[in-house]
Amino acid sequence: MKAIVIGAGIGGLSAAVALKQSGIDCDVYEAVKEIKPVGAAISVWPNGVKCMAHLGMGDIMETFGGPLRRMAYRDFRSGENMTQFSLAPLIERTGSRPCPVSRQNCSGKCWITGTGQRAVRQTRHPL
């Protein structure tokens, strides 16, 4: 059996890792030639952190993830703090912390783990 995964985002690459670990060969197709830094980070919440660890990619969070202990929302015009709260109850309840991580670092490591390759296969057309 062979699977095709469309999209080399975090979800697609995680699916590729899970398929590979289940003994299913798969190809991952992505419209972009390479995953480049775009200044974006993602927050992987405790269930996602646990899924990454289950797939053998927990080191991504440990290596590239930063601490996230509190959240705050600010008014974009005034900078006034609208609300803030501790994530300690969530961390205590789930036994795992949320991790902000660079999308590029996370995707790059997932790609290597999921495909054994360092380059993204490009299909030369939008998907």
DSSP labels, 79-108: --EEEEEESHHHHHHHSS--EEEEHHHHHH
- % residues pLDDT > 90 (the chain): 24
Report the predicted TM-score, pTM, of the whole model to 2 decimal places.
Answer: 0.72
Structure confidence at residue 114 (pLDDT): 59
Mean pLDDT along residues 29-40: 74
The CATH number given to whatever domain includes residue 22 is 3.30.9.30
C-alpha to C-alpha distance for 28 and 15, rounded to whole angstroms: 10
Instruction: Tell me how many domains the chain contains.
Output: 1
Structure confidence at residue 30 (pLDDT): 82
Contact indicator for 53, 65 with CB cutoff of 8 Å? no
Asked if the structure places residue 31 within a domain, the reply is yes
Asked if the structure places residue 125 within a domain, the reply is no
- Tell me the residue range of the domain where 101 lies: 2-115
User: What band does 119 get if pLDDT is binned at 50, 70 and 90?
Assistant: very low
C-alpha to C-alpha distance for 13 and 7, rounded to whole angstroms: 8
